[in-house]
Amino acid sequence: MSRGPNENYVKSRVPRGFHLDVARKIQMALASRVVEEDLININNVDLVAGIDVAYINHKDTEIGISVASTYSISRSSIIEWSCWVGSIIFPYVPTLLSFRELKPVVNAYLRLRTKPQVVLIDGHGRAHPYRLGIASHFGVCLRIPTIGVAKSLLYGRMEGTEGPVLDVSTNEVIGWTVQCAPTKPTYVSVGYGISLGSAVNLVKRMCVGSQMPIPILHSHNTANSLKRRITKRLMGETTFEELDSECKASMGNYLS
């Protein structure tokens, strides 16, 4: 397996007490547990969640706003969404995004009252230099069928506008490019518990002309709407607990 981007650059940004070699060992151990076959009958899938995270830099603190939205394929509608607000202590470090985003992603997911059959996460799964993007990290830890859906290519090379994403060193197929939007590609990769073919077919069923499929698109828009509201609230005196309580109060449940 090829090495990731400039390791010296990565080392300069990890928090105190966090060792890059330990993180790599964790990645390799978890990557070995990824299941790339269907653990569910893909034809029976109806409830699919999408999760996205927005960030606010406030003084010396970074705040994460995560949203999980559950979409019903049979009803063609979002039936529920949940959110979480809290501090983020791990910075953005290339190839270690899952260590930063796992906390907000999991917390938003756990607040869903109706658990989905498959989870889409705005990020990569196996299409990662260490085979453990946020979608795979989440899926392995929670043992939930998960798909990585990204707007940009982190690792690999494309074979045409719609087709396989190949490992640059081994030519292994690690993802697939689909054309959800007219001009921008969407990158799909296995997270956990689903085959690449099933992942691609499921994502295509929820494309609506935007780069992101419906569940992630709803979470993205909701997270950014909450971000604007929270930014205004931060102009006064408020706590994370108050912000998170307001977030929970605004959660949408459309189940009859």
Q: Does 50 reside within a domain?
A: yes
Pairing of strands 157-158, 173-178: unpaired
What is the value of pTM for the model shown? 0.89
Residue 192 lies inside a defined structural domain of this protein: yes
Does residue 2 fall inside a structural domain?
no
In a domain? residue 254: no
pLDDT at residue 15, rounded to an integer: 62
pLDDT tens for 137-194 read 999 999 999 999 999 999 999 977 899 999 999 999 999 999 999 999 999 999 999 9
Structural domain includes residue 232 = yes
Contact 188, 156 (CB under 8 A): no
The answer as to whether 255 is a domain residue is: no
Q: What does the pLDDT read at residue 64?
A: 94
Tens digit of pLDDT for each residue in 195-237?
999 999 999 999 999 999 999 999 999 999 999 988 888 877 7
Count structural domains, the chain. 1
Residue 1 maps to a domain: no
Q: What is the pLDDT of residues 65-108, one digit of tens each?
A: 999 999 999 999 999 999 999 988 888 888 888 999 999 999 99
Q: What is the CATH number of the domain that holds 168?
A: 3.30.2170.10
Residue 170 CA, chain-centre distance (Å), reads 25
52 is in an annotated binding site: yes
Cα–Cα distance between 252 and 69 in angstroms, integer?
Answer: 9
Question: Which residue range(s) make up the domain with 33?
Answer: 7-249
Q: Is residue 60 marked as binding?
A: no
Is residue 82 domain-resident? yes
